[in-house]
Amino acid sequence: MAKLKVMSIELIAPLSQKQQILAYLQKRGVMEINDVREAVAPATGEGETETQADLSAVQNALAALDKVAPVKKPLTAMLEPRIGLTDAEFNEKAGGVDEAVALAKEILSLQNETADLAAENIRLQTRRETLLPWINADFPVRSGSTGRVSYLLGSIRPPTDREALLTHIAARYPQLECVDIEVFSSDETQTNFAAFCLDEDMPEVEHALKELGFILAPNLADDSPADRLAETDRALAANAARQTEIENALLAAAQRRSSLEFAADALGARLTLLENEGKALHTERVFVLEGYAAEKDAIKLKKKLEADFDAAVEVSEPPEDADVPVVLKNGWFSAPLENITGMYSLPGKADIDPTGPMTFFYYLFFGMMLSDAGYGLLIALATGGALLCKRNMEQRMKNNCKMYFLCGLSTVFWGAMYGSWFGDVGHVIMREFFGRDINPLPPLWTDAVSDTMNVLIMCFILGLAHLFWGVLMKGWNDIRQGHPLDAVFDTIPTFLTVIGIAPIFFGLFAQDSIPADYTPLGTFFFNIFTAVHKGLGQVNVYILIAGLVLVVATAGRHSKSVGGKLGGGLYAVYNLFSGYLGDVLSYARLLALGMATGVIAQVMNMLGTLPSNPVLKLVMFIPVFIAGHTANLAINLIGAYVHTNRLQYVEFFSKFYEGGGKAFEPFEAKTKFYRFKEEL
């Protein structure tokens, strides 16, 4: 459990070696480069804009190929490492980046053409649907006049017929004699027709039709609808043929996906290099780089840079006011939880790394909340198998597998303690299929569902131990910073006060006698708790008084006035009682989530055995068992993860941890598909 010592690095080298040095630092990936330019708006580095444009083109091309020819990967693909390349292999493939960029631009051009064709097809389909009602017309679909006879084209809703239209016009304007109607199509929604009359009669005819809801048709074609429809169909067919050509071209381009993937990584690495190149100061002959690295890496960098380049490198302690990044380094047991710490906040300057101190309780609480040995066994086997079979998986994934492997083992332990193996499946199978009412997998300690009070007390005891561990970390941190008296005054009074009040609190939940069905281990725990509870009960008042006196006397010690000291002490007493009461009660979630897992598992087993017919019962039990327990595991796995994190972040970290550290961001090639195989 440690924060690695981070050193400041200053490098001065000839400007002619700038690219080679930066390339080495990027491949080494252990140094964070500071921006040491003047405090002005930084200009875009040479080639940076062009590289960013090329990178965007390649990334967008890959996204386009994912739609046309998605890559189907097995579930285990996430365990596979990126493709490893040696430095020589990387340089050899780098020669094809320009060709890959050209391919990407071609793909994007085809994608844009596909979008244009899709928009054009919508327009043509709309035109086609508009023309179809007029397909029987043998003249242009537009209103007009021959010089003596005028005609109107349009539609009326609801649908009607020729006789009704002529009858309405005649009734409205009986003086009109030369009027005719030709219906071209009619359906359940409307009637499409043309009205013919003399030029001078057109206003009256149009007025009469509008009284029926007449809608004038747009000018659809200057030639016949049949001709325009044939033209439209030819255009749609041509578009379909072109779309097929484009799809085939994209499928062919998908065969060269690997070149695009390499180009994305190479261009991303180049862009990162250009961005960091711009952070250096330089004259006409030399350039200066500054940054941070872990002490062991900084010493190696100094030796390598001075040996291989004409560089002067100075490694020194960072200034006190420097915003030094944080690098964590933990052993195999705690390293998987570094990501959990990072999700909250990295340690500040005055903090210790909380990853190690929280590790034991993290795994312990996760197992208590998931609390089914069958589920834990599945998790442990899956992640343990992945660690054994995929030894070359990348470190982040390896840490995740290790974390869930250890969480799985903890779940197996607590599930065995509670006797929960896929709920009560052993008991259900023996009773329903073999007619024997016995439980082949009894609890080693107790059944959490039926013995809630004793399990709740255990949760509170473990929670109190967790809180006390946080207080001890606060004391240790005070000692590290040269404040031993603060360590004493902030820990011992708290311990005495809480231990003094604990017997009263636990007495509210304690049982007077051992349950009849208790296991030997359960009886042992019960006797231990009873003995400690009774022993403390005889002296807890004196311990409580001593703790309260010390809290009142020491909590306000930093105040200058006597009244301030007393007020600070009394306020601390109030905070101590209210804070610890709420904190300890928070650990009831250890029981609540564990019971939720067990009860839902038992319900799934019960649902699977509802039929009375043995054959039907077996047929139903298997799918219900698989589906029900899969859903239960998925839901409660998320719940255990979230609430275990909460207990660390809210209850534990609040006792000693401030956070606020800056993450270490090394200058490296952040690649997605490829990685350097050899260490430099």
Cα separation, 109 vs 107, in Å, equals 5
Query: pLDDT of 78-94, one tens digit each?
Result: 777 788 888 788 888 88
Under DSSP, the state recorded for 651 is I
Cα angle 547-549-554, degrees, rounded to a multiple of 5: 95
The more confidently predicted of residues 519 and 246 is 246
Determine the pLDDT at residue 536.
Answer: 63
Q: What is the pLDDT of residue 546?
A: 84
| 489 — pLDDT class (breaks 50, 70, 90) | confident
pLDDT tens digits for 602-635?
A: 999 999 888 888 888 888 999 999 999 999 999 9
Q: Quick check: 141 pLDDT over 80?
A: no
Q: How confident is the model at residue 581 (pLDDT cuts 50, 70, 90)?
A: confident
pLDDT at 368: 95
CA torsion 129-133-139-144 (nearest 10°) is -90
Q: What average pLDDT does the segment 247-267 reach?
A: 92
Q: What integer pLDDT is reported at residue 572 of this predicted model?
A: 77
Report the residue count for the chain: 680
Per-residue model confidence (pLDDT) at position 680: 42
The pLDDT of 534-554, averaged and rounded, is 77
d(CA 292, CA 405): 34
Q: How far is CA 463 from the centre of its chain?
A: 29
The reported pLDDT for the residue numbered 517 is: 63
10 Å CB burial of residue 531 (0-12, 13-18, 19+) is exposed
What is the Cα–Cα distance from 521 to 509, expressed in whole angstroms? 20
CATH number of 143-218: 3.30.70.2750
Q: In the beta sheet, which residues pair with residue 144?
A: 151
Q: What mean pLDDT comes out for the span 298-315?
A: 92
Q: How confident is the model at residue 361 (pLDDT cuts 50, 70, 90)?
A: very high
Please write the tens of the pLDDT for every residue from 53-78.
Answer: 999 999 999 999 998 888 887 777 77
**pLDDT of amino acid 577:** 81
> What span, in angstroms and rounded, lies between the C-alpha atoms of 563 and 624?
68
Q: What is the pLDDT of residues 514-539, one digit of tens each?
A: 666 666 766 666 667 676 666 666 77
Mean pLDDT over residues 154-164, rounded? 88
Torsion of CA 357, 464, 528, 593, to 10 degrees: -90
- Whether residue 137 has pLDDT greater than 90: no
Q: What are phi and psi of 586, to 5 degrees?
A: -60, -25
The yes-or-no verdict on residue 671 having pLDDT over 90 is: no
Distance CA 129, CA 536 (A): 89
C-alpha closest to that of 530 among 518, 513, 544: 513
8-state DSSP, 283: -
Output the pTM of the full model.
0.82
pLDDT at 574: 80
3-state secondary structure at position 43: coil
Cis peptide before 81 (omega within 30 of 0): no
Q: Is the pLDDT of residue 555 over 70?
A: yes
What is the rounded CA–CA span in Å between residue 171 and residue 535? 111
Question: In whole angstroms, what is the distance from residue 379 CA to residue 401 CA?
Answer: 9
49: tokens are: 């804009």
From residue 419, alpha-carbon distances to 218, 379, 416, 654 in Å are: 78, 18, 5, 34
Residue 473's pLDDT is what?
A: 93
Chain centre to alpha carbon of residue 469: 31
Residue-by-residue DSSP string for 336-362: GGHHHHHHH-B--TTPPP-HHHHHHHH
Q: Which amino acid is located at 402 in the chain?
A: K
Is the pLDDT confidence value at 435 over 80?
yes
- Non-local (6+) Cβ contacts of 431 within 8 A are 437, 438
Provide the mean pLDDT of the chain. Answer: 87
pLDDT at 511 over 80: no
Q: 676 near 337, Cβ under 8 Å?
A: no
Tell which residue, 632, 595, 596, 594, has the closest CA to residue 378: 632
pLDDT of residue 338: 93
How is residue 79 annotated by DSSP?
G
Query: Confidence class of residue 420 from pLDDT cuts 50, 70 and 90?
Result: very high
Q: What is the pLDDT of residue 648?
A: 95
Over residues 332-358, the pLDDT tens digits come to: 999 999 999 999 999 988 889 999 999
Give the pLDDT band of residue 159 (cuts 50, 70, 90). confident
325-326 and 662-663 strand pairing: parallel
Of the candidate ranges 208-222, 307-321, 341-355, 578-592, the one whose mean pLDDT is the lowest: 208-222
Residues 6+ apart with CB under 8 A from 63: none
The confidence score (pLDDT) of residue 677 equals 66
Enter the tokens of residue 379: 């998790």
Hey, where are the domains in the chain? Answer: 143-218, 335-428+441-660
| 455 band by pLDDT with thresholds 50, 70 and 90 | confident
At 45 the pLDDT is: 55
Q: Residue 392's pLDDT is what?
A: 79
The fraction of the chain above a pLDDT of 70, given in percent, is 93
At 190-243, the pLDDT tens digits run: 899 999 999 999 999 999 999 999 988 877 666 778 888 888 899 999 999 999
pLDDT tens, position by position, 381-408 = 999 999 988 777 888 899 999 999 999 9
Burial of residue 651 (CB within 10 Å: 0-12, 13-18, 19+) is: buried
